[in-house]
Amino acid sequence: MTVEMTVDIAGVRALTGELVTAAERVAETDPMTPIDASAAALPGSDTAAVLAELSPVTGRVVSETALRLRAMSVAAADSATRYAGTDEATAALLAGI
């Protein structure tokens, strides 16, 4: 049984760019300001106490998400490079037949 696999290298490269853009957009997100403003608007309330705990956690989640998106973009770029190299090596081998 023969299994054929094709890879859209241009598509993988495009994905790399989209992941970089997404990482940048996430990194620019400031969820803490509105959370902190909401907490300040409700001084002494249970809601303010919960929001005060939520703010740093949300900031860490945003930072971690941006880092993971960047890592995914690097993995996609590496994959595109490897697929292109495999295609070139295979073409060179076939040219010699």
Residue 69 lies in a domain: yes
Number of folded domains that form the chain:
1
Residue 88 lies in a domain: no
Residue 72 lies in a domain: yes
Residue 1 lies in a domain: no
Residue-number span of the structural domain to which 25 is assigned: 9-83
Q: Rounded to two decimals, what is the model's pTM?
A: 0.78
Query: Is residue 1 pLDDT above 80, yes or no?
Result: no
Give residue 15's pLDDT. 97
Residue 51 lies in a domain: yes
Q: Give the span between the Cα atoms of 87 and 48, in whole angstroms.
A: 58
Q: Give the span between the Cα atoms of 49 and 11, in whole angstroms.
A: 46
Residue 95 lies in a domain: no
pLDDT tens, position by position, 23-54: 999 999 999 999 999 999 999 999 999 999 99
Q: What angle is formed at CA 46 by the lines to CA 43 and CA 47, rounded to 5 degrees? A: 75
Give residue 8's pLDDT. 93
Residue 25 lies in a domain: yes
pLDDT cut 70: percent of the chain above it = 100
